[in-house]
Structure 1
Amino acid sequence: MSRSTTARRRSYALTYAGYVVAALIFFVPVLFMLWSAFRNNIDITGSIFNITSPLTLENFRTLFERFDFIYYIRNSFIIAGGSTILALIFGVPAAYVIVRRRIPAIGFMTLLARMAPGVLFVVPFFILSMKIGAASNDVLNFALLICAHLIITLPLCIWLLVPFYEEIPRSLEEAALIDGCTPRQRFMQVVLPLVTPGISVAITLSFIFSWNYFLFALALASSNTMPLPVIAFNFIGQGSSDYGGLMAASTLISVPAIVLTIVAQRWLVRGLTGGAVK
């Protein structure tokens, strides 16, 4: 066996070993969460690795008896879905203007908002909530939460779409201009269909980031607009914690994001790879 063949096999072995380690780092906590969701609280705290402990559905029964979980799922969909839709409405044309007008400074300013800690925005939003009476008005409270989550979703949407717009040659738009297309027609009929993979990535990641975000809902949501992550927090107490209920709640919270990722997998992979290759 030649030295080059040995080196190549060793390189492959190291690569696959890295994949295995990365998979373990990612999947072991997820599998532990799923397993613990079906275990008694005393088994979770007593012996983590006891695989002979009995499985039960009691955590899920307690979850739905203690909370109106369907109601809070609806709240999460309203907040995450609303912030994702608004991020697309503003972010899709904004990314196009940033690329075509060559004004990356505006895009960088939106990125600064995303890079800043979320607690920086909590106090201004809380004061605004008190001023407009959002704490006692469900519609205003949902609107405030959606606007707060735009701090997460809008910069993400813009910066995911910028590489896709950069790949589109100006000659396509110039040809459409010669054919008599208006600026709106050029954008809607020529440019937008070419960035569909990027839009699918932006939808998926924006929804997941907004769905899982905890801080704004904890500080701003009322009892009628509370989303799932804050409800899951109620299983952690100062004196004792219901780890089984927490794991069951975390499992149910993860389901919509996992389903969305599976459904959009084809477009997601195409979009992630398409935006990186020029």
Structure 2
Amino acid sequence: MTRRLSGVYAAYLVFTIVFFGPVLFMLWSSLRDNVDITGSLFDLGSPLTLDNFTNLFERFAFGRHIANSFIVAGGSTILGLALGAPAAYVIVRRKLAALGFVTLLARMAPGVLFVLPLFVLSIRIGGPDSVALNYALLIVAHLIITLPLCIWLLVPFFEEIPISIEESTLIDGANAWQRFHKIALPLALPGLSVALTLSFVFSWNYFLFALALANERTMPLTVIAFNFIGQGSNDFGGLMAASALISAPALLLTIFAQRWLVRGITGGAVK
């Protein structure tokens, strides 16, 4: 018994180092000078400083880029839920598994397949010259990520809702929208919390669409971090500081929604 517990704790320790080691190293490096990082990666005696974070806001309009990331990720998440929840409900109630699989194909395909058509569309409609159009195009592009994810996360939750509950409302004359809005949707709230959190995190971290479509006024954080590495000069301290700020919103959202995430994931797994 003691040996078994020792093995379990050893496995926990290994997993903790593997998963949290890089995060702690990123945070520690974000507080070190670039000279100290390039000189010795693991010099525990090097002084700590906030200069890397200060330089971010001095060199770039970092507040604007943070707002851009929230607009794109938040917009695509909300729109993905608004479209994905009714779509998942219809797929379940009408037994349209083939349609659900078609939506999943877009999520399985590599993002490179969509970049060129979206880039040509952006040029045709004047996206690079218009902030509003550029935001709209980025949000629509990120729907390729969030919409299939929302649909396939919500399908198991709607499948668990007994059809008899909805049929009982027919006595009161409830139509299809009322059954979805007042019965099915409230019962699927744990699934909505899972879909919201994961969709936001995936959209927030996605790099390719923003790199190809965003202009200087709509550029999100993930593309800005790309500026710290170049030929002949690498600002590792600035890169680590930018990475820490990029990771913070998604991490905080996950921690805040942890209770609903656990409830939603375990709820959707029960048949």
Aligned to 1:3: none
Amino acid at match of 2:175: T
Matched, 1:110 2:103: yes
Aligned to 1:99: 92
Alpha-carbon RMSD across the aligned residues, in angstroms, is 1.2
Aligned to 1:197: 190
Q: Judging changes above 3 Å, is the alpha-carbon distance between structure 1 residues 67 and 97 closer, same or farther for their aligned structure 2 residues?
A: same
CA distance in 1, matches of 2:231, 2:164: 63
Amino acid at match of 2:91: I
Aligned to 1:70: 63
CA distance in 1, matches of 2:44, 2:64: 34
Amino acid at match of 2:123: M
* 1:12 Cα deviation after fit: 4.3
* 1:10 Cα deviation after fit: 4.5
Aligned to 1:214: 207
Amino acid at match of 2:257: A
Aligned to 1:141: 134
CA distance in 2, matches of 1:187, 1:22: 42
Alignment TM-score, normalising by the size of structure 2: 0.97
Aligned to 1:122: 115
Matched, 1:29 2:22: yes
The aligned length equals: 271
* 1:14 Cα deviation after fit: 3.5
Amino acid at match of 2:20: F
* 1:15 Cα deviation after fit: 3.6
Q: Which runs of 5 or more structure 1 residues have no equivalent in the other structure?
A: 1-5
Aligned to 1:239: 232
Amino acid at match of 2:214: A
* 1:246 Cα deviation after fit: 0.4
* 1:18 Cα deviation after fit: 2.8
* 1:100 Cα deviation after fit: 1.0
Q: Which runs of 5 or more structure 2 residues have no equivalent in the other structure?
A: none
CA distance in 2, matches of 1:108, 1:190: 26
Amino acid at match of 1:95: A
Matched, 1:58 2:51: yes
* 1:16 Cα deviation after fit: 3.6
* 1:116 Cα deviation after fit: 0.9
Matched, 1:153 2:155: no
Alignment TM-score, normalising by the size of structure 1: 0.95
1:132 corresponds to which of 125, 128, 133 = 125
CA distance in 1, matches of 2:9, 2:179: 46
% identity of equivalent residues: 69
Amino acid at match of 1:73: I
